[in-house]
Chains A and B, each alone.
Chain A
């Protein structure tokens, strides 16, 4: 059977597009971009992370346009990104320069600089707050005033503190391996297709833009026995990082002549993973390796999950799917996975008819044999 071109449905499609707009507007209430930015921090962060484009304003617009659908918002952002020229590459961002807003360790009670809870839902009661149904401007203004007054009493230090990394503390003690600074230019999966075995840079790029749910589920599977990594979180930190770029035509320009372009907020995780290694005498002994996770915005579950998968993929293991980089890296991208699943909704009339024809032939053949 050959392919049969068909046309039609233009009017229906136009009517459908109107209908989807009607669904967004029929309640006769709209949400402002500023409201999304002010009230849906986690959603904005997740859209930016999965679309691999840091722009809170565009993410909020995508959320509004997509009526809150994550996959649609990420798709819109990725599509928009593809229309923009890439003007610069940043200088390497060193995360020790982070302005820390939150920083905890599950490995040590006492860490240099202390544990800073920052803003977290970890210690809140997961009970619906029905007071929010009738929250009035006067209520939150009053709350804010009282909070600002409380904050006036804090003891302000003259210098801004940059917190040392927990892992550096352990490295200095000789408990963790030291790695030389590696300035090998990273691969860029947006410029060249992912190849296997993947480089560490390509792997981390795929993981950080992975769908939060997919990344979390695979890391969870590893913890439950479909993998061999069960880490202790050495440090989770959330904070802002300054971004610098060099002048494109000043090749010999120094660090002092770089442009500061702004800050991005990220969540970064270092997980400590126990591994068995062979020593000089060929005896097995316990050692620790570090799983690394980072993503745009505040999304701690995703960053921890990335750190688990990073470590899984560092040690290929045929028995476990979470240690198989093709399995992990080819199935966590939001646009790829949701796009492929949703293409199944599109017309497959010819291919399906072909399958039906085959079944009819088989059944007809069976009837002939029976008779």
Chain B
């Protein structure tokens, strides 16, 4: 599974799977903390829709960590103050880079979690749709 899709699931899953996957790696492989979780900023670039140009809306606080497994360095980045999750994401990223066999087993769990996330979002959207206006044109 590609990184974009994987990180979407691991972060939107509130870190449940990330904790489980990272735990499995920590108990099986040797690892090295390259960069301890630390706070920093990400500047957000937005495309405005009046003239389709780019501008910076502002920064978002992020936590970043870097971990190494089998000479492969993984990076974990997540918005907010999330030291634990950043470290777990870095471990998982390193695991994918090192092509550890565990990553194959994670696939089905990630897909199941993705399905749950999608269902929860669809439910939230359906709840919001209850505020949709049904206009009735009055006859005068």
Given contact pairs A84-B39, A186-B56, A243-B42, A258 touches B4 in the complex (Cβ within 8 A): yes
Nearest residue in A to B73 (C-beta to C-beta)?
Answer: A249
> What is the size, in residues, of chain A's interface with B at 8 Å between Cβ atoms?
88
Chain B residue numbers with a CB within 8 Å of A115 are 132-133
Binds B, one of A177-185, A217-225, A344-352: A177-185
Binds A, one of B18-26, B98-106, B121-129: B121-129
B interface: dominant SS: mixed
Nearest residue in A to B48 (C-beta to C-beta)?
Answer: A292
Q: List 12 A-B contacts (CB under 8 A).
A: A49-B58, A54-B60, A93-B46, A115-B133, A116-B128, A116-B132, A156-B122, A160-B118, A186-B53, A202-B55, A262-B79, A270-B50
Instruction: Tell yes or no: A242 within 8 A of B by CB.
Output: yes
Given contact pairs A116-B131, A261-B11, A154 touches B50 in the complex (Cβ within 8 A): no
Q: Would you give the 0/1 interface string for A252-269, flagging 1 where the beta carbon is closer than 8 Å to chain B?
A: 000111111111101010
Given contact pairs A156-B122, A243-B79, A258-B4, A92 touches B128 in the complex (Cβ within 8 A): no
Q: B interface vs A, CB < 8 Å?
A: 2-5, 7-8, 11, 39-62, 64, 75, 77-81, 118-119, 121-123, 125-133, 135
Given contact pairs A54-B79, A95-B47, A256-B2, A109 touches B60 in the complex (Cβ within 8 A): no
Given contact pairs A204-B55, A270-B50, A261 touches B132 in the complex (Cβ within 8 A): no
Given contact pairs A109-B135, A185-B54, A243-B79, A257 touches B2 in the complex (Cβ within 8 A): yes
The answer to whether A117 touches B125 (Cβ under 8 A) is no
Task: Work out how many contacts link A and B, with CB atoms closer than 8 A.
Answer: 225
Q: Would you give the 0/1 interface string for A48-63, flagging 1 where the beta carbon is closer than 8 Å to chain B?
A: 1100111101100000
| Bound complex: CA A32 to CA B25 (Å) | 36
CB distance from B83 to the nearest CB of A (A): 13
CB distance from B66 to the nearest CB of A (A): 11
| Bound complex: CA A45 to CA B109 (Å) | 35
CB distance from B72 to the nearest CB of A (A): 13
CB distance from B107 to the nearest CB of A (A): 15
Given contact pairs A151-B127, A247-B75, A261-B42, A52 touches B58 in the complex (Cβ within 8 A): yes
Given contact pairs A257-B2, A262-B79, A84 touches B53 in the complex (Cβ within 8 A): no
The answer to whether B126 touches A54 (Cβ under 8 A) is no
| Bound complex: CA A87 to CA B43 (Å) | 8
